[in-house]
Amino acid sequence: MPVYCKLAWRNIWRNKRRTFITLFAMSLTLTLMIAYSGLVWGVLNQLERNATLLGPGEIQLHVPGYLADRSIYKVINQPERIVAQIEQTGVNATPRLQSFGLVSCGENSAGAQILGIDLHKEKGVTTFHQHIARGTFLQQPMDVVLGNKIAVTLGAAIGSELVVVTQAADGSIGNDLYRITGILNGIGEETDRSTIIMSLDDFKHLFGIGDVATEIAVRRINQADDLNVLRDRIKQTVPFAEVKTWKELFPAVSDMIEIADLSIYILFFIIYIAASLIMLNTMLMSVFERIKELGIMMAIGLRPVNVLGLIMLETFFLSLCGILLGGLCGVTLSLYLTHAGLDLSAFSEGISVAGILAEPHWFAVTNIETVLPPIVFVFIVSFIAVLYPAIKACRLEPVDALVFQ
């Protein structure tokens, strides 16, 4: 056996040009596949993060029945105390108030969803404050921040005044003047089109309500924690509330992300096939090229099975080299994309998937899940590639092989 290994190893390097071409095809394929998987998983992860970080949070608590009609009368009392309790389970939590109203800026007006947030605690759960396109986030009382599409509808400019009219909790007409201090990036269709954000205190004043919240939003501190386990733990802490993960709250969004996952697998498959064709072609040719040579080996006494074994050994060594080279390049490229990212903002402002923003600056992820499958795939493909010519070669009569064209 060591003889065969030696033979195989030498065979590889006998024709350096052919070997380098094969190695190049193999490692290029592998590099691209590793970088591509990294990038795709990066975008999907970002999508999933944005689905929670730019809106709902990961888990939400409501009073039972709130979700059916989003009534401002179905509230969680003493939200501060409950938030403190929830935070003991190892998460960040923040109280929120939400309702609807009529907003007007100059001549223009529109219906809006009004979100009241705790300026300090909200930052532990969502990242609205990092997604300001113009102006600043909420800073002082009577500041409001607008979604970017409703801002266009209203013709709103930073610093202009915004009138908000609602029905207060006692049935009277709640109305006040606010200052537009910031406009959000595009972060999702619904938010863009209809949301205005103000502080919890301003919201309470506008609606004439006391120390309550319509919602408590939660985010894991440790992303490795299982969401469902945390949900159950929170449920035990706050038994009266309806506790739901964002996947339960927005099944359409999480389904869309799952479908995106699935379609990515299909896309992977197509990309892999395309990439492996490059490799397959080179490997195929390199064996066919040597059929005469293999015929000679058989003529001097090698049995067909030995020839097959030899080709497989060569393939093994060759793919090992290719994988080492390609893996190294691929992981390097993927790590670069993980840290520097791929900035597509020159081409697009970001796309929206199921109403969730995918930002135009893509960051890859690099981990065993993005690196290992391409390696295994390349390995398998290279064996499949040589199997056909190898079998063909060792089944030939030595004489035929010698004259094989």
Binder to another protein among 3, 107, 224, 252 (CB under 8 A)?
107
Give least dist CB 142 to another protein, A: 11
Binder to another protein among 5, 7, 44, 102 (CB under 8 A)?
102
Q: How far is CA 356 from CA 52, 138, 188, 346, 395, in A?
A: 9, 23, 5, 20, 58
Q: Which of residues 110-129 bind another protein (CB under 8 A)?
A: 110-111
Binder to another protein among 172, 223, 228, 281 (CB under 8 A)?
172
Q: Which is nearer to another protein, 87 or 189 (CB)?
A: 189
Does position 65 interact with another protein (CB under 8 A)? The reply is no
Tokens of 300: 């001097």
Tokens of 82: 């409950």
Tokens of 177: 């003047």
Q: Which is nearer to another protein, 168 or 238 (CB)?
A: 168
For residue 125, give the nearest of 53, 191, 197 by alpha carbon. 53
| Distance from the first to the final alpha carbon of the chain | 31
Give least dist CB 153 to another protein, A: 9
Please tell me the distance from the alpha carbon of residue 288 to that of residue 295, in angstroms, as a whole number.
11
Q: Which of residues 132-171 bind another protein (CB under 8 A)?
A: 163, 165, 167, 169-171
Q: Which is nearer to another protein, 110 or 402 (CB)?
A: 110
Give least dist CB 168 to another protein, A: 9
Residues constituting the chain: 405
Give least dist CB 72 to another protein, A: 9
Binder to another protein among 13, 20, 73, 269 (CB under 8 A)?
73
In 3-state terms the chain splits into helix, strand, coil percentages (rounded to 5) of 55, 20, 25
Q: Which is nearer to another protein, 172 or 348 (CB)?
A: 172
Q: Which helix (H) or strand (E) holds 361?
A: strand 361-362
Please tell me the distance from the alpha carbon of residue 381 to that of residue 387, in angstroms, as a whole number.
10
Please tell me the distance from the alpha carbon of residue 271 to that of residue 43, in angstroms, as a whole number.
17
Please tell me the distance from the alpha carbon of residue 33 to that of residue 370, in angstroms, as a whole number.
9
Beta strands in 155-302 (DSSP E): 161-167, 173-184, 195-199, 212-213, 215-220, 242-245
Give least dist CB 356 to another protein, A: 24
Q: Which is nearer to another protein, 13 or 73 (CB)?
A: 73
Does position 226 interact with another protein (CB under 8 A)? The reply is no
Give least dist CB 371 to another protein, A: 51
Give least dist CB 107 to another protein, A: 7
Q: Which is nearer to another protein, 73 or 240 (CB)?
A: 73
Does position 64 interact with another protein (CB under 8 A)? The reply is no
> Residue 402, Cβ neighbours under 10 Å: how many?
16
Does position 176 interact with another protein (CB under 8 A)? The reply is yes
Give least dist CB 227 to another protein, A: 35
The owner of tokens 């909200």 is 122
Q: How many residues sit close enough to another protein to count as binding (CB under 8 A)?
A: 19
Please tell me the distance from the alpha carbon of residue 42 to that of residue 334, in angstroms, as a whole number.
10
Pairing of strands 361-362, 342-343: antiparallel
Binder to another protein among 1, 3, 173, 300 (CB under 8 A)?
173
Beta partners for residue 179, in sequence order: 143, 161
Give least dist CB 188 to another protein, A: 20
Does position 175 interact with another protein (CB under 8 A)? The reply is yes
- Residues 101, 103, 107, 108: is their CA dihedral positive or negative? negative
Binding residues for another protein (CB under 8 A): 73, 102, 104, 107-111, 163, 165, 167, 169-173, 175-177
